[in-house]
Amino acid sequence: MSHTEQSQVNATTAYTAPDRLELGVCYYPEQWPREKWAEDAARMVELGLEWVRIGEFSWALIEPQPGQFDWGWMDEAIDILGRAGLKVILGTPTAAPPKWLIDRHPDILAVGPDGHTRRFGARRHYCFSSRTYFQEAGRITRAFVERYGAHPFVKAWQTDNEYGDHDTIYSYSQEAHRAFRLWLAERYGSIDAMNEAWGTRFWSMRYRSFEEVDVPLQVVEEPSPTHLVDFVRFSSDQVVRFNRQQVEIIRAGSPGRPITHNFMSHNIDFDHFKLSADLDVASWDVYPMGGLINGRLSAEEKERLLRTGDLDQVAFNHDLYRATGRGRVWVMEQQPGPVNWAAHNQSPADGMVRLWTWLAYAHGVDMVAYFRWRQAPFAQEQFHAGLLLPDSTPDQAFHETAEVARERLLLPAGENKGKAPVALVMDYESRWASRALPQGRSYSASAICLDWYTALSRHGVDVDIVSQQSDLSGYRLVLCPDLLIMQEDFPERLKAAGAKALFGPRAGSKTVSMHIPGGLPPGPLRKLLDMKVTRVESLPSAAGEPVRFGNIAFAAGTWRESIETGETVLATFEGSYRPGMPALIGNGQARYLATIPSRELLESLLRDSLDWADVAWMPDLGDIRLSRRGNLTFAFNFGTEAADLPIPAGAEVLFGEARLSPCDVTVWRQ
Ligand code: GAL
């Protein structure tokens, strides 16, 4: 199969959703004496776990010498875990190739953005374009599948581990150069076409052949945005191709077992929709404390939410990966306590592990596995909590897991996540486009998107994340906070679906080749809206440009567009610069926002748009969040104060209190 081919491996029906939330844990038998394995397995079952994930870093111990396999320990571990009653998720070990393999084939190593070769000594030290590594990854996957593909206790597979962790999608190696040139030749057919697309008549950047093209590394000014975005497209395709090889091997040799990969929080380095198309179930790794520290919030908010995390970042990712997984999503690693890898590593408040587990279920997750069973007393992650302390004493998360295991029996079986009234479009190509041309340092599409999501969540509105290609029927409102590269048929499909739509600034502002569209932005969207964008500016702070919406003058934000329009003007810029120009315009079907708004303005606009699309919303929920799964409504308190819940008359509370304490959960059925 060629590496740019996007046809997906037929995702099988290997996945059946469980009736109730299932629980699991990540376990490393190779890190503990054999005498402990049986006791560990028995305690896992006693705790209420169904699943155990093993093996994803086991290569050097399974194949200690080239071609010599030591399966004994893994056979025994799987046997002990399976006999205890656990279902094994087996990880292919390709995230960490052994030293002897690297020494034999140094071309496996990736080259980082500093131009230096990355070295052995941790993990993810490989380049997706290395031909040797592609073969070796296939060889070890085949060996695993031949050994365990039909094993009665192996019930699911995970490919590799966290593609993209430690910034490892982009490699600038010779192998990457070679593959990038082939990819470009296939995409463009002729060097003239590529020169045209990249705009190389600018600054004398013209190429005579694909052989002359390099990966975009260490050039003096910024590279052509098309060069950059093509390199990301290429790198994304390389990951899809790498993963697909493993999926094909597993599917052929281990039929009926679902295949997953564990994604990371909102990583945009490759297209997760494309990669997920080959999986039976998507999964992701939930580390809310690190997510808070590295995330979008102000220093004051981070302080306030220090031990509970960003209220919406985790939920957003559940919704995102539920979308990439076509409704099927697991949590493969749930943070159980402090971790070791963020700028600082605070403990979650007691109760949060339970809260996050129920939050996952409420957002459509079928299985939550904790990372990890027991805290490691050696190597890099010694400070990382587990369900057990290094001496096997139960830690806080152990008790909270036990509570979840009991509580799940209080809920009816078979409740599934239904369709939300609102869809939010997440488009990876558009992300790459704005990363290549941010037009101002503070521009962050991820933060913008999450801010829109938050504004809805504060008002208790359930949201589905969708791709640009998704079926839009059934949605009342479709939100496109950052749809820079809009497909030509998107406006028609929106119209056919009968959905109303709100577009953020920059919608349709770039063609696939990263050019300004011929008829000016918003490009294809001009089919729905009579408008064009004639000027774009980025601004230093949120306070600068007042916007009048209704009777209120709001602080606008860090972005402003000048637009000419024949549509109704719904809000206007009121600063000293071009006062009276439209900030929000629209007609019966679509609205366009010409600014990145302040939070207050955003909330006001979204409330108004929900009314416009006839979607019900609730008064500001503050630090409470609600999420619905089937007939169940889950309420979560991320704050420090107890709060009264809006439980409707006649609803039956299944567990929890009507006055919800901090870090607590209540569930009711309607
Ligand atoms: C994840 C990774 C795990 C472990 C964990 C620690 O990113 O998949 O192997 O390192 O982080 O939090």
Q: Which of 170, 151, 147, 169 is nearest to 160 (CA)?
A: 169
Indicate which atom in ligand 1 lies nearest the CA of residue 335.
Answer: 12
Residues 665 and 543 in one domain: no
Which CATH number does the domain housing residue 446 bear?
3.40.50.880
Structural tokens at position 259: 């295949």
Per-residue model confidence (pLDDT) at position 545: 80
Per-residue model confidence (pLDDT) at position 442: 84
Q: DSSP letters along 385-437, please?
A: --SB-TTS-B-HHHHHHHHHHHHGGGSPTT------SEEEE--HHHHHHHHH-
Residues 269-296: what's their mean pLDDT?
96
Residue 11: is its pLDDT beyond 80?
no
Per-residue model confidence (pLDDT) at position 6: 38
Residue 421: is its pLDDT beyond 80?
yes
Residues 336 and 358 in one domain: yes
Q: Is the CB of 289 under 6 A from ligand 1?
A: no
Residues 479-492: what's their mean pLDDT?
98
Q: Is the CB of 561 under 6 A from ligand 1?
A: no
Residues 426 and 405 in one domain: no
Confidence of residue 544 (pLDDT cuts 50, 70, 90): low
**Catalytic, out of 50, 56, 175, 333:** 333
Residues 398 and 507 in one domain: no
Residues 608 and 650 in one domain: no
Ligand 1 pocket test target in 162, 331, 346, 347 with most atoms within 8 Å of CB? 162
Residues 122-141: what's their mean pLDDT?
98
**Ligand 1 atom 6 nearest Cα:** 339
**Ligand 1 atom 9 nearest Cα:** 161
- pTM value is 0.97
Calpha distance 156→185 (Å, rounded): 38
37: in domain = yes
**Could you give the C-alpha distances from 290 to 287, 344, 475, in angstroms and in order?**
6, 8, 33
Query: Strands 665-669, 22-26: parallel, antiparallel or unpaired by DSSP?
Result: unpaired
Share of the chain above pLDDT 90, in %: 94
Per-residue model confidence (pLDDT) at position 98: 98
User: Who's near 509: CB < 8 A, 6+ residues apart?
Assistant: 484, 516, 517, 521, 522, 523, 533, 536
Residues 615-629: what's their mean pLDDT?
98
Expressed in angstroms and rounded, the spacing between residue 622 Cα and the centre of ligand 1 is 31
Per-residue model confidence (pLDDT) at position 294: 85
Structural tokens at position 266: 């909102």
Residues 474-499: what's their mean pLDDT?
97
Indicate which atom in ligand 1 lies nearest the CA of residue 162.
Answer: 8
Between 107-116, 155-164, 537-546, 656-665, the lowest mean confidence (pLDDT) is in 537-546
Residues 530 and 632 in one domain: no
Number of domains into which the chain is organized = 3
Residues 452 and 551 in one domain: yes
Residue 129: is its pLDDT beyond 60?
yes
Structural tokens at position 470: 């998704």
Query: Strands 632-637, 365-370: parallel, antiparallel or unpaired by DSSP?
Result: unpaired
Structural tokens at position 320: 């995102």
- Dump pLDDT digits (tens) for 546-585: 999 999 999 877 899 999 999 999 999 999 899 999 999 9
Q: Is the CB of 284 under 6 A from ligand 1?
A: no
Expressed in angstroms and rounded, the spacing between residue 243 Cα and the centre of ligand 1 is 19
Residues 394 and 434 in one domain: no
**Ligand 1 atom 12 nearest Cα:** 339
Residue 2: is its pLDDT beyond 50?
no
544: in domain = yes
**Ligand 1 atom 2 nearest Cα:** 162
Indicate which atom in ligand 1 lies nearest the CA of residue 332.
Answer: 8
Query: Strands 559-565, 531-538: parallel, antiparallel or unpaired by DSSP?
Result: antiparallel
Residue 3: is its pLDDT beyond 60?
no
Expressed in angstroms and rounded, the spacing between residue 334 Cα and the centre of ligand 1 is 10
Which CATH number does the domain housing residue 660 bear?
2.60.40.1180
Q: Which of 670, 664, 627 is nearest to 647 (CA)?
A: 670
Calpha distance 183→437 (Å, rounded): 23
Share of the chain above pLDDT 70, in %: 98
Per-residue model confidence (pLDDT) at position 556: 78
78: in domain = yes
Helix (H) or strand (E) run with residue 285 in it: strand 282-286
How far is C-alpha 571 from the geometric centre of its chain's CA atoms? 33
Query: Strands 531-538, 624-629: parallel, antiparallel or unpaired by DSSP?
Result: unpaired
Q: Give the domain extent around 637.
A: 624-669
63: in domain = yes
Confidence of residue 4 (pLDDT cuts 50, 70, 90): very low
Residue 472: is its pLDDT beyond 90?
yes
Expressed in angstroms and rounded, the spacing between residue 264 Cα and the centre of ligand 1 is 10
Residues 150-176: what's their mean pLDDT?
98
Expressed in angstroms and rounded, the spacing between residue 373 Cα and the centre of ligand 1 is 13
Residues 389-418: what's their mean pLDDT?
97
Residue with tokens 């953020």: 504
Residues 537 and 562 in one domain: yes
Residue 7: is its pLDDT beyond 60?
no
Per-residue model confidence (pLDDT) at position 543: 61
289: in domain = yes
Which CATH number does the domain housing residue 262 bear?
3.20.20.80
188: in domain = no
Residue 235: is its pLDDT beyond 90?
yes
Q: Is 605 exposed, middle or buried (0-12, 13-18, 19+ CB in 10 A)?
A: buried
Residues 628 and 547 in one domain: no
Residues 78 and 55 in one domain: yes
531: in domain = yes
Domain final residue, candidates 410, 433, 450: 410
Domain final residue, candidates 410, 435, 463: 410
- Dump pLDDT digits (tens) for 88-115: 999 999 999 999 999 999 999 999 999 9
- Dump pLDDT digits (tens) for 30-45: 999 999 999 999 999 9
Q: For residue 178, which phi and psi values (nearest 5 degrees)?
A: -60, -50
- Ramachandran quadrant class, 486 (left: phi over 0; alpha: psi -120 to 50; beta: rest): beta
Q: Is the CB of 160 under 6 A from ligand 1?
A: no
- Do the beta carbons of residue 366 and residue 87 sit within 8 Å? no
Per-residue model confidence (pLDDT) at position 542: 62
**Catalytic, out of 22, 162, 400, 603:** 162
Indicate which atom in ligand 1 lies nearest the CA of residue 165.
Answer: 7
Calpha distance 544→138 (Å, rounded): 56
Per-residue model confidence (pLDDT) at position 12: 54
Chain mean pLDDT for the chain:
96
Residues 386 and 521 in one domain: no
Q: Is the CB of 285 under 6 A from ligand 1?
A: yes
Calpha distance 575→594 (Å, rounded): 14
Residues 647-652: what's their mean pLDDT?
97
Domain final residue, candidates 410, 434, 456: 410
Q: List the end-to-end C-alpha distance of the chain, in Å, as a whole number.
A: 50
Residue 1: is its pLDDT beyond 60?
no
Per-residue model confidence (pLDDT) at position 13: 67
333 given a catalytic annotation: yes
Q: Is the CB of 371 under 6 A from ligand 1?
A: yes
388: in domain = yes
Calpha distance 610→587 (Å, rounded): 15
Indicate which atom in ligand 1 lies nearest the CA of residue 340.
Answer: 12
